Homo-oligomer: A and B are copies of this chain.
């Protein structure tokens, strides 16, 4: 079974999310392609891919001296399901309205000088 904690930790990093998005567009990419597309350097790309693979977010396929990376649906699905478990929160529509009012519980009284709104 895939650990939700590991998955969400892995996604909690901007460059790793960029790699996931790049792999989503390209469907399959070598490390060099990801280096070129991301602007990151090769070692960091490899390291990030290792973390993503550890979370079942990407899968690798050896191809000659290349490694072809692609998205792995298993980790992505686990993360998606974690957020889906909160669906009731935004489907009870009143919460959203309330939130607009109550996000800032004290909207700066500013010592209430007499100027008009």
**CB-based nearest B residue for A67:** B105
User: Which B residues are in CB contact (< 8 Å) with A83?
Assistant: 76, 79-80, 83
The count of chain A contact residues (Cβ–Cβ below 8 Å) is: 43
Q: How far, in whole Å, are A14 and B11 apart by their CA atoms in the complex?
A: 12
User: Which B residues are in CB contact (< 8 Å) with A61?
Assistant: 98, 102, 105
Known: A61-B102, A72-B99, A76-B90. 20 other contacts (CB 8 A): A12-B13, A20-B86, A56-B103, A59-B99, A59-B102, A60-B102, A60-B105, A61-B98, A61-B105, A62-B102, A72-B89, A72-B95, A73-B89, A73-B92, A73-B95, A74-B96, A74-B99, A77-B90, A80-B87, A83-B83
